[in-house]
Amino acid sequence: MDYRSLPKALLHDHLDGGVRVDTILELADRFGYTGLPSGTTEGLTEWFDQGRSGSLERYLEAFTHTVAVMRDQDSIRRIAYEAGMDLAADGVVYAEIRFGPSLHMIHGMTREAAIEAVLDGLSAAHRETGIVLYGIVSALRHETDSVEVVRAAIPYLDRGLIAFDLAGPEAGFPADDHLPACRLAREAGLGLTIHAGEADSAASIWRAVARCGATRVGHGVRIADETDFDGERITTLESLARRIRDHRIPLEVSITSNLDTSAFPSVREHPFGALYRSGFNVTINTDNRLMSRVGVSDEYRLASETFDLGPADLAEITVNAIEAGFGDWPTRRRIIDELVRPAYASVASNQEAISEST
């Protein structure tokens, strides 16, 4: 399968985790930022590629360097534009990109200025390539400004900003500490997705869904702990897992990112394939393209080759992802009907023709 040319969807991708290395170098030069661990494309690419180091410190340090060059509206607009262009070149047709508008306040920017710059960059990439892009604002669970983040986001609801997310350290920082922000977001009409069940237990997923009202979950892979997943398949489900499956809660799974943070020892032991086959609404995501050195095509390939997923499976996963999106429904419907279904059906019929002729 030519994964790059297949139309793909992306629900979980952090803007500051997907900056081009050359852009970081150029902007660092422009802003006089001298903190980069390397001054060359190769050196910096190597450094950002966290591999399976499992070092959270180094992982977090990586974001300090990308945020350090997101200092003004021009740099943020450029980074958002390039993210959209890179995704379009990788065959992504629908993407929701998340970012933390508060992160740029250390450079004297307002949250609103950061939001405007991201949305400007995304719409420029849309105009140039046709890729459908939306923004999601993230607040950090260990900070106390989640309500302010939602307030800043609300005026941009019909201008490309569609949802609110809680990110940051999961263990010890329960999502329901941010109930007021979650409620405000939902009442204003923002979609709600929460990172849960990545580093903490499956109970954290239920807290995000049942208490905070998240209709989507970032990662959510620890739900496998509430099943009898034996490393290959799932036969019985505890009630919590059953609810997540039966309510069709979309899980924004990022396989490579999970391996990088050592959530699972090897890709074979990752529950993505088992969850999919048991009927969970799993989607394929990159999380941080720079730190995990992956594109969406790479993740599709990894899922497909590891868990033996054919074009019909990838079509279903892609359709599920677009249906789980928060953007304009007629647009998403059109993408599903005119781009996604025909492309995967044609790959499937080509494969059939090849297997019949051999």
Residue 316 bears catalytic tag: no
Q: Is 96 in the site for Zn ion (CB under 5 A)?
A: no
Specify the residue, 116 or 287, whose C-beta has the smaller distance to Zn ion: 287
Is 200 a binding residue for Zn ion by CB under 5 A? The answer is no
- The β-bridge partners of 284 are 253
Residue range at the interface with Zn ion (CB under 5 A); choices 20-28, 48-56, 281-289, 299-307: 281-289
The least distance separating Zn ion from the CB of residue 233, rounded to whole angstroms, comes to: 27
Cβ count within 10 A of residue 53? 13
- Residue 82 as a binder of Zn ion (CB under 5 A): the answer is no
Give the closest residue to 122 by CA, choosing from 75, 176, 160: 160
Show contacts with Zn ion in window 161-180 (CB under 5 A): none
Residue 218 CB, shortest distance to Zn ion, in Å, is 5
CA distance 37 to 30: 17
Q: Which is nearer to Zn ion, 72 or 287 (CB)?
A: 287
**CA pseudo-torsion sign 2, 3, 9, 14:** negative
- C-alpha distances in angstroms, 326 versus 134, 156, 161, 205, 321? 9, 14, 9, 20, 10
The piece of 54-62, 66-74, 280-288, 291-299 that touches Zn ion (CB under 5 A) is 280-288
Task: Kindly identify the residues of this chain, within the stretch 283-312, that bind Zn ion according to CB under 5 A.
Answer: 287
In the complex, what is the shortest distance from the CB of residue 39 to Zn ion, in angstroms, rounded to a whole number?
28
**Residue closest to Zn ion (Cβ):** 287
82 vs 287 by CB, closer to Zn ion: 287
Least Cβ distance, residue 79 to Zn ion (angstroms): 17
Residue 72 in the binding site for Zn ion (CB under 5 A): no
Candidates 45-53, 136-144, 282-290, 305-313; binding stretch for Zn ion (CB under 5 A): 282-290
Phi, psi (rounded to 5 degrees) for 291: -70, -30
Q: Which is nearer to Zn ion, 205 or 234 (CB)?
A: 205
CB-nearer residue toward Zn ion: 217 or 336: 217
DSSP 130-169: --EEEEEEEEETTSS-HHHHHHHHGGGGGGTEEEEEEES-
Min separation Cβ 280 and Zn ion, Å? 18
Structure tokens at 52: 């399976």
Compute the least distance from the CB of residue 168 to Zn ion, in Å. 9
Straight-line distance from the first to the last Cα atom of the chain, in angstroms, rounded to the nearest whole number: 17
Catalytic residue among 82, 96, 116, 198: 198
User: How many CB atoms neighbour CB 63 within 10 A?
Assistant: 18
Cα distances (Å, whole numbers) of residue 219 to 86, 204, 228, 285, 345: 23, 11, 19, 9, 28
Q: Which residues bind Zn ion (CB under 5 A)?
A: 287
Task: Give me the active site residues, please.
Answer: 198
